[in-house]
Each structure stands twice: as C-alpha cells, then as structure tokens.
Amino acid sequence: MNPKSYLAYTLGYQLFGKSFLSWQRHSDERKLRAIRPAPDDPLNPPLVGTARMKELMSRHYLEGRYANGVRKVAWVTSGAPIEVLRALDFFLIYPENHAALCGARRHAEGLAVEAENAGYSRDICSYARTDIGAALSGRTPMGKLPRPDLLVCCTNICQTVLYWYRVLAAHFGVPLYVVDTPFLYEKVADHQLDYVLEQIEGLIPVAEKVAGRRVSRGRLQEIMEQGKDCAELWLEIMDRAQHRPSPITAFDGFINMGPIVDLRGEPETFAFYKELLREIDRRIEQGVGAIRDERKRVLWDNLPVWYKIGKLSRHLGAKGVNVIVSTYTYAWGELAPMMDASDPMRSAARVYLHPILNRSTGDKLRSMREMVARFQLDGAILHSDRSCKPYSLGQIDQRDNLANDLGVPAVLLEADHNDPRVYSDEQADARLDAFVETMEAA
Amino acid sequence: MGEAKWIGIDAGSTTCKAVAVDAAGDLIASRIEPAHPVIEDQAARLVDELRAEAGAGGEVPVVATGYGRKLVRGATRNITEITCHARGVFRALKQPGMLVDIGGQDTKVIVIGPGGRAVDFMMNDKCAAGTGRFLEHSAARLSVAIEDLGPRALGAVGEESISSTCTVFAESEIISLVARGAKVDAILLGLHRSLISRVVAMIHSVGLRSPLMLSGGVARNLAARAMLEQATGQKLHLPEHPQLMGAYGAALVGLESGADR
Ligand code: SF4
C-alpha cells in the first residue's frame, strides 16, 4: 500500500466523500418525496429508494478514483466469476456498467467517437466503443477510473468482450484472464461444467499473485451466499410486477440494476434492495401503480435504450402502457436457484454457464412465453439492438412466435442501447404507436 | 354523393394526401400533392379545399395520419398509418388478408384481421432499402421519369443484377454498370428485383397470407406488381386509389368513432 494514496483514500473517500454522498442522498430523498407530478403526467411519483442507488453507485465510482495504490483493481465483464476476486478484496470496475452510465448521462456518443477516430469500427458494440473511447481519452463523467491491475473476461455474454479486453490489456499493459464458456444449445453437460470449473479454479493462483495474498475457502462460501441472497431479493423485486397495477416498471429495473451488477453480494446492496422492496410493497398495499392508468402490460426484450429511458416511459405511459418486466433485468435474478454456497466453485461454474446470452434462442423464447403467462402481458417490445448481436439474434422468429402462436402483439424496435446516432424518434414513435393500436384493437 | 362528414389527412414523407368521406363512408373528394416542408400549412390548406369542395360549408372534423400526423393542426385524433391503411384497404377491398404498402420512406406489411383491424405488422428498418425512395433515387441517377420506370423495366431485354438493397451502394453499382455499357432498361429491371426481394423478405418475416393486397405509390408501378406476384405466387388485389388508403382509413376511423367532433 502506498502511504500517499492511502491518505488521499482516507480523506477523499472515507471521510469527506462518503459523508458528502450521504448528505446528498438525504437531500435527493427529500426532493423525490416532494415530487407531485402534474395532473397530465402519466407516471406516478418515482421510487424514493432510487436516491440510495445513486449514493451506492456514486460511492463506488468515488472509491474507484482513490483505489489505485490502496486496493488491487480488476476490470471485469458483467458475467465474470467475481467471487474469487471479491474474496481477495479486489476493487471491481465493470466497463459495461460504466459505459451504460455514460449512455444514460448522454456522454456515450462523444466517447464512442473517440474510439471511432482511433480506428474502431462503428459496427462494434457501443459499450465497447464508449469504454475504449474513455480509456483512450481519459475522459469519463465519473471523474476518473482506476487503472486495472488485472482484467478478467468471461465469454458467456458475447465474443466482443474477448477482443475488447485484449485491447484493454494492450492499452494498460496488465494481465488478462479469459474464462471461455461453451454456448449451451441444450442442457449443460458435465464436461462443459468441468471445463469452466477448471478455468475458474485457474483464476485463483493468477488473482492471488496479483493480490499478494491467499484466498480463503470460507470467505468464498460466504461471498457465494451473499450473492445468492442479493439475486433472490432482486428476483423478488422483479416478480412484484405480477401485481395489477404493477408497482414497478422495467424502466425502474434498468435504473436500479447498477448495484446487482457492480456490487452484487455486498451487504449494502442487500440493504438497499430490502428497502426498495419495502417501498414497492407499500405501493402494492395502497394499490398504487408505477403509471397512473395501466391499461396494457408489456414485456421488454434486450438491453434498454439508455439515452431514451425517460422519453420512452412517458411516451408509453401516456398511452396507458406499462412496460413491467424485461428479460434483461430478470437475467440478474433468475440464476439465484443455481447458486449453492456449499459448493461455491462448482456452482459458480454452473451459474456462469447459464446467462441468458449463453443459452439458445429457443430457450429465450421459452422464457418470454413463460413471462407472458406469469405477468399477464398484453404485448412485447423486442428492442433489436444494433450493438448487441447475440441478444438480437433470433428476435424475428421470437416476435413471430409471440404474435402468431401466442396471439400477443409484438413489435421490433430498431435502436441501439448506447449510440443515439442510430435512433430516430419519429420512426420509433411510429412503430410503438402502431403497436399500441394493435394491442388496443386485439 | 353526400356531403363531407370526416376528412382524413395522410402527411407522408414524399406526398401529402387528403380524403373526404360522406356519412356512408364513401370517398367523395381527395387531393394528393408532393409533401411540403411546412406540413402544418399544407395540411390546413388541403382541409380548407376539401371543405369548400364537399363540405356543407360548416366544420368537418379531421383525423391525421402519416409521419407528420402530429403537426396537423386541428385534427381531433392522430392515428398511425398501420391502423389507417388497414381500415382503408379493408373498406375498399372488403376482405381481410395481408396488405403490403410500399411508400416513399417506408414499406409496411400489415396483417388485416376481421373488421379491418391491424393484427400484426412489420415496417422496414431505418434505411431506404425496400421503399419507393430506392427506386426514385436510382431513377434520378439514370435520368428516367418515375412513371416510366415500370414500363421500361418490363420491356427490358436481359437483366443486370443489382446485389445491394442499400440505396447508396446500389447507386455505385449503377454507376459502374453504366460505365461498362449496360442497358438502362436492364439495370431498371435489376433494381426492381432488388426492391422486391427486400419486400418479400419482410412479407415472410410476418408470414405470407392471402389474399395479398398492395397499396402505396409503388402500386402504380407495373413491373413492381408483376414481380411481387411472381415472387409470392399470389395474385395481387389493388384498391382503386392505392395512394389514398392511409388518408381514407383515417377519415373512416373518424367516422366510426361516432362523434362528429
Ligand atoms: S455485444 Fe452485447 S453482450 Fe457484448 S458487450 Fe455489447 S451489449 Fe454486452
């Protein structure tokens, strides 16, 4: 540990930063409580718990600013096996989440242009371009990201991350550990589990070497346990959308999912979601929905359009459409039953083989059909995300199946989760409005 | 012919259409013009003209559709082209089925259910491939008038294949074909083929059904019609005024809503 860094960490983060952010949260909570939507606002007042989410995420990135020289830093993909890293007290940065924050704060385009100017094609995922742009330019709305000491990339979401992390490894000159996860066309086979298990076990000595200490098996179990608790809680929150009217929207899920991705398993994450669940349950008791007049309940497939969340929720809300659930937010809870603290490594292998993007398109369709029944949905919006090919693959057939087999109106919305240059308000509105009209006529 | 009860305005990207219907839902007056950049003014003028022509001198309520629908002042409702086209064509052809509307900026495939409601639909993605603009743009490149496109393509001896459905890429293909001395008519035939292949892909992504109906500006193009029939193996049914179906449907939706205003 570097004494100067430690001093800055203690003063900037531990003492002043945390207290400032907690003061800010109180002030945000007051403001959120005071919101009285205009009579023509289609949305009910927002969830006050969101202030806590903002505090957690800001605190995380603030700690990141001071982390180098105090804690070892790993940059990881969203589906990376982080239990080993957390057990060694690594500070974790999720470039995908960082890119999403840039997208939501309308900084993604400028950063993507930095990457494009450096020669990266516009056909590459906009998360990768945003993040590579941030690494190359050193610019980020989060102030500053800590340099990684280790990169861990798991291919259970896409192959883009493999090349993206190789770029990062070359840029930062640090080791990259890749966990390769075979795609599950069918049920997982034992040899696939063994193959992934071996790689997760193989991460231990690499991470130990960077961390300069040994991992304790007890701590690993504890971390798996905490991760499971958080994922179960998140699932419970998502499932509250089964109520009529739904107390939450999928957009609430998108906004509040940062901690389940970046800080999963942390005790404070658990406390935050507990509080959020209480607030949601109060809404249910009072019969208050997330939107004022819920006439149609809809599924969202794929990533959100980060820079249009507010616009889309108002536009649809004004037509009585509540987008209540999404395959994307659900993905962070649905694997909870697979987590087993008694055998943390093998259960990690199973969990990290099963993210939605590592399962067949037919499997995703089954999940969507099941959601239609369980959440009593009237329609589905399938965001065809120009950036995320693995998520968008198969959507034409999935849409067709929902519309023709199940008789559930479904629409393909062409957009990009982070790059506003491929979004056209007029065209998107025309599709969504026509979709709403087909639901109304159904 | 009765007096105008409702007016439908279809403010599209290339043309602006207006239709007046009487109490029986018959089309009694219409206008079609190239789209003006200031949609509000153009729509207001067209409404005034129709009121003067077919109205009883009093107010006639308006329903707006098309890309500029939200800009039509004084419209009692605005409804998407999907619903309006389905309604208009259903009334004109008196049958459910599958409607293909090839317009200037977008192409729509609509499944029309009983009663003329739109059950399912697909619109082209954010590019001009598979739309009228594709032909228009290429015609301009070859200095051929739009109305001559179809007849010349049909009369072509031989066909040049245009592999790109992208308007910009097709343009460079055209340039190199012309440079190599290819016949203009043969290029036109290839362009139609490219357009229709894109439209057929959209039809299949929704699932082909019969009867197959066609509307929109491209419906006037004989080559496009013949090729679409050939590619789908279906006979095409066309309404009498294929370009007015959106505006007609809008007026009908107004009429069906019951209220006069
Ligand atoms: S391609 Fe999809 S899964 Fe891969 S990083 Fe981009 S958004 Fe994530």
Which of A400, A434, A442 is closest, CB to CB, to B83? Answer: A434
Q: Do B126 and A426 touch (CB under 8 A)?
A: no
Domain boundaries, chain B: 6-86+243-257
CA distance B75 to B69: 9
The whole model's pTM is what? 0.90
Upper half-sphere CA count for residue A352 (Cβ side, 13 Å): 31
For residue A137, give both structure tokens.
Answer: 């330019």
- C-alpha to C-alpha distance for B100 and B111, rounded to whole angstroms: 9
Q: Is B71 on the interface with A (CB under 8 A)?
A: no
Distance from C-alpha of A42 to C-alpha of A39, rounded to nearest angstrom: 8
Nearest to A175 by CA among A256, A84, A72, A104: A72
ipTM value of the model?
0.80
Is omega for the bond preceding A146 within 30 degrees of 0, making it cis? no
User: For residue A80, what are its two tokens?
Assistant: 């990376």
pLDDT one digit per residue (tens) for chain B, 261 residues: 678 899 999 998 889 999 999 999 999 999 999 999 898 999 999 999 998 888 766 789 999 999 889 888 888 999 999 999 999 999 999 999 999 999 877 889 999 999 999 999 998 766 666 788 888 888 888 888 888 889 999 999 988 888 776 777 778 888 888 888 889 999 999 989 988 988 998 899 888 999 999 999 889 999 999 999 999 999 999 999 999 999 999 999 999 987 544
CB A160 within 8 Å of CB A138: no
Q: How far is A116 from chain B (nearest CA, A)?
A: 21
- B80 to A424: CB separation less than 8 angstroms, yes or no: no
The predicted-structure confidence for A390-417, as pLDDT tens digits, reads as follows 999 999 999 999 999 999 999 999 999 9
Residue A315 in this model has a pLDDT that exceeds 90: yes
Out of A155-169, A247-261, B38-52, pick the least confident.
B38-52
Choose the closest CB to A430 out of B67, B125, B207.
Answer: B67
CA distances from residue A85 to A2, A40, A340 in whole angstroms, order as listed: 21, 49, 18
CB spacing of B81 vs A422 below 8 angstroms: no
Q: For residues B35 and B42, is the Cβ–Cβ distance under 8 A?
A: yes
Q: Which CATH class is domain B6-86+243-257?
A: alpha beta
Q: How many CB pairs under 8 A join A and B?
A: 52
